[in-house]
Amino acid sequence: MTDYGMLYGATRERVGSLVRDLDDATAATPVPACPGWTVHDVVAHLAGTVTDVLAGKLDGVGSDAWTRAQVAARRDVPIRDLVDEWNEGGPQFEDGLRAIGGAMAATAVSDAFQHEQDVRSAIDRQGGRDVDVILTVVESYVPGLARRIGGAGLGPLRVEAGSHGYTAGDGEPVATVRAEPFELARALGGRRTVDEIRALAWDGDAAAYAPLFSTYGTPTTSIGER
């Protein structure tokens, strides 16, 4: 059984260690994967999400307006204090993820994973690529992918993340995409362009599936992640 609280907590601790002592200039680094946001803004969102959920501030949860409010409210808060806020509520939030499990908990883990990698890419500090969290992220996106391709009238897609495989849709797959788990997690999470998704290893009509691959839509330009 997946321990979503543990996966989220490990990500929180890694990000906290990574950003706590950043100087103001580095904290103000733009994050290509989150247009308009800096490293500081990403951490403000992560801390704000935990605080808002624990406080029951769930109106518009997950929406752009909800996340913008978190960032705006913490605009002048030092990044070290944002880490402290996140750590203060983190254990209770993580206990909640263990209790609810399923898609909602997986979404929280996926959000934290994506933003950890967004920050790492922005400041060129590769890491945090634990296979357990990456596979959890990939698996969490498969049901949404199935809905998108089914709505477009496409047949099931086999998604092979290294030695692990998932089928998006019911029945025999009519196409397959293969890549390392990290690449698939980032592509499914909206961090790869359509051209980058087409460049993965495909059996079948990549052109039909690639525009539907991401949960959040695809960027128009590469974020240049290594």
Q: What CATH number is associated with residue 166?
A: 3.30.1050
Residues 8 and 64 reside in one and the same domain: yes
User: At residue 120, does pLDDT exceed 90?
Assistant: yes
The answer to whether 7 and 140 have CB atoms below 8 angstroms apart is no
Answer yes or no: is 154 within a domain: yes
Residues 34 and 72 reside in one and the same domain: yes
Domain boundary among 63, 96, 123: 123
**Stretch 55-71: mean pLDDT, rounded?**
96
User: At residue 226, does pLDDT exceed 90?
Assistant: no
pLDDT in tens, 6-42: 999 999 999 999 999 999 999 999 999 999 999 999 9
Answer yes or no: is 130 within a domain: no
Distance set, CA 37 to CA 16, 40, 42, 106 (Å): 18, 8, 7, 24
Please give the Cα distance from 159 to 167 (Å, whole number).
Answer: 6
**Stretch 154-164: mean pLDDT, rounded?**
97
Sign of the torsion formed by the C-alpha atoms of 200, 204, 209 and 215: negative
Q: Is 25 left (phi over 0), alpha (psi -120 to 50) or beta?
A: alpha
Answer yes or no: is 147 within a domain: yes
In this prediction, residue 212 has a pLDDT band, given cuts at 50, 70 and 90, of: very high
What's the whole-model pTM score?
0.96
Range of the domain at 154: 137-212
Residues 85 and 8 reside in one and the same domain: yes
In this prediction, residue 176 has a pLDDT band, given cuts at 50, 70 and 90, of: very high
Q: Which amino acid is at 67?
A: T
Domain boundary among 73, 96, 123: 123
Residues 108 and 144 reside in one and the same domain: no
Sign of the torsion formed by the C-alpha atoms of 218, 147, 160 and 105: positive
* Structural domain total, the chain: 2
